[in-house]
Amino acid sequence: MKINSNYSNLKDSYLFSTIAKKVNEYKAANPDADIIRLGIGDVTLPLPKVCVEAMEKASAEMGVKETFKGYGEEQGYGFLRTAVAKYYTNRNVVLSDDEIFISDGAKSDLGNILDVFSVDNTVLIPDPVYPVYVDTNVMAGRNIVFMNGNEENGFLPMPQADVKADIIYLCSPNNPTGAVYNKAQLKEWVDYANRNDAVILFDAAYEAFIMDDTLPKSIYEIEGARTCAIEFCSFSKKAGFTGTRCGYTVVPKELVREGVALNKMWLRRQTTKFNGVPYIVQRGAEAVFTEEGYKQTQENIEYYLGNAKIIAATLDELGIKYFGGKNSPYIWLKCPDNMKSWDFFDMLLTKINVVGTPGQGFGENGEGFFRLTAFGSRENVIKAMERFKNLFA
């Protein structure tokens, strides 16, 4: 008997446990400290009312013989896939329902999609980045090449002619940097992927935060993407579904490698290993796409973006350089005086009782940077920024 020895190559994920430990120790030594957390990547506003009502109605249906639902289609109910397809038409993207696969969230699909690719593929991953891309490939034993995100490229790495890869991860708006690719930049990636027979895994989990109409929310807004890209999206940040769990993945039919349609492979994978998202949750997700759902989710997103704006305005005032904060719930600031990420973390914690996330935890290129999130309460954001002004003025 042999275990998957690739697991021994995973780095222990110390980031959030180290943060929690440091905060708890500080709190124990300073019980009166009023600690403000701007480090969390989870939403804090409750579910939109329309979603709750839709799920209440669906729950009631489940208790009545005539409307009870057992196993559903593994790839999601038609009503939700149709609603997702309709949402894409806002950006002039035409998808058919059978190109959309409903799942329990983007994280699962980002990991599971690797089932359809050979372990011999080389993977190109930005640094810094959402750690799931790295860890899922380490588990499978794939060769990983990193591409540098840094101040020079605005944390938006671009294709390099001499770097060859089969699978490319792009995340826009980006976690942790908040950077967003424009259409010309994504076009370069799409052309590169088509030229090299590579597949782009495009993580659009934060698309709902894009308010600038000139920026692409979907990679399929780019010509040529249907032959080279899979898109992952989520209701988590868009509609507060982090605990409710729903997302979707788009695999266009024209995406063919070695003569095989990846759409067919993914359908086979999902029907074999997945039994679908609960009917009740899918009805809740469907409500997001109604007129009232749009209004209510938009209110929440605008609330978070308002927080981001307050943080960005404070950093502007203090002359602290940052990325993101617009079209994104993340603000990626450069630690003043060339401080290291963890030193900056300690300073904020002990001097002004504000908690964020050290950039170094997202990759080597994150050293010297720091992530603040806009998911907190307005009151706390304002208070934290007053403390920033006192400390850095």
Task: Summarize as ranges the residues that interact with ligand PLP (CB under 6 A).
Answer: 41, 105-107, 130, 171, 175, 203, 205, 234, 236, 242, 247
CB 253 within 8 A of CB 32: no
Q: Which class for 157: exposed (0-12), middle (13-18), buried (19 or more C-beta within 10 A)?
A: buried
**Min. distance of Cβ 26 from ligand PLP in angstroms?**
25
DSSP string, 86-116: HHHHTTT----GGGEEEES-HHHHHHHGGGG
Pairing of the two strands 369-373 and 357-358: antiparallel
Residue closer to ligand PLP, measured from CB, 236 or 282: 236
Lookup: tokens for 191: 């052309």
**Min. distance of Cβ 355 from ligand PLP in angstroms?**
17
**Min. distance of Cβ 130 from ligand PLP in angstroms?**
4
Q: How far apart are CA 111 and CA 243, in angstroms?
A: 19
Containing H/E element for 371?
strand 369-373
Residue closer to ligand PLP, measured from CB, 314 or 328: 328
Residue closer to ligand PLP, measured from CB, 105 or 252: 105
Residue closer to ligand PLP, measured from CB, 123 or 171: 171
Burial call 109-137: b when 16+ CB within 10 Å, e when fewer? bbbbbbebbeeebbbbbbbbbbbbbbbbb
**Min. distance of Cβ 382 from ligand PLP in angstroms?**
25
**Min. distance of Cβ 203 from ligand PLP in angstroms?**
5
**Min. distance of Cβ 113 from ligand PLP in angstroms?**
12
CB 190 within 8 A of CB 219: yes
Q: How far apart are CA 257 and CA 230, in angstroms?
A: 13
Q: How far apart are CA 24 and CA 19, in angstroms?
A: 9
Q: How far apart are CA 93 and CA 85, in angstroms?
A: 8
**Min. distance of Cβ 241 from ligand PLP in angstroms?**
7
Residue 207: strand, helix, or coil: helix
Residue closer to ligand PLP, measured from CB, 132 or 318: 132
**Min. distance of Cβ 362 from ligand PLP in angstroms?**
10
**Min. distance of Cβ 366 from ligand PLP in angstroms?**
14
Give the up-direction half-sphere exposure of residue 75: CA atoms within 13 A in the CB hemisphere.
20
**Min. distance of Cβ 234 from ligand PLP in angstroms?**
3
Residue closer to ligand PLP, measured from CB, 174 or 353: 174
Q: How far apart are CA 27 and CA 363, in angstroms?
A: 28
Residue closer to ligand PLP, measured from CB, 142 or 238: 238
Q: How far apart are CA 114 and CA 137, in angstroms?
A: 8
Sign of the torsion formed by the C-alpha atoms of 349, 352, 353 and 357: negative
Residue closer to ligand PLP, measured from CB, 208 or 352: 208
Residue closer to ligand PLP, measured from CB, 81 or 352: 81
Q: How many CB atoms lie within 10 A of CB 20?
A: 12
Nearest CA to 37 among 325, 349, 276?
Answer: 349
Residue closer to ligand PLP, measured from CB, 40 or 267: 40
Q: How far apart are CA 127 and CA 153, in angstroms?
A: 12
CB 91 within 8 A of CB 295: no
**How far is C-alpha 28 from the chain's CA centre?**
33
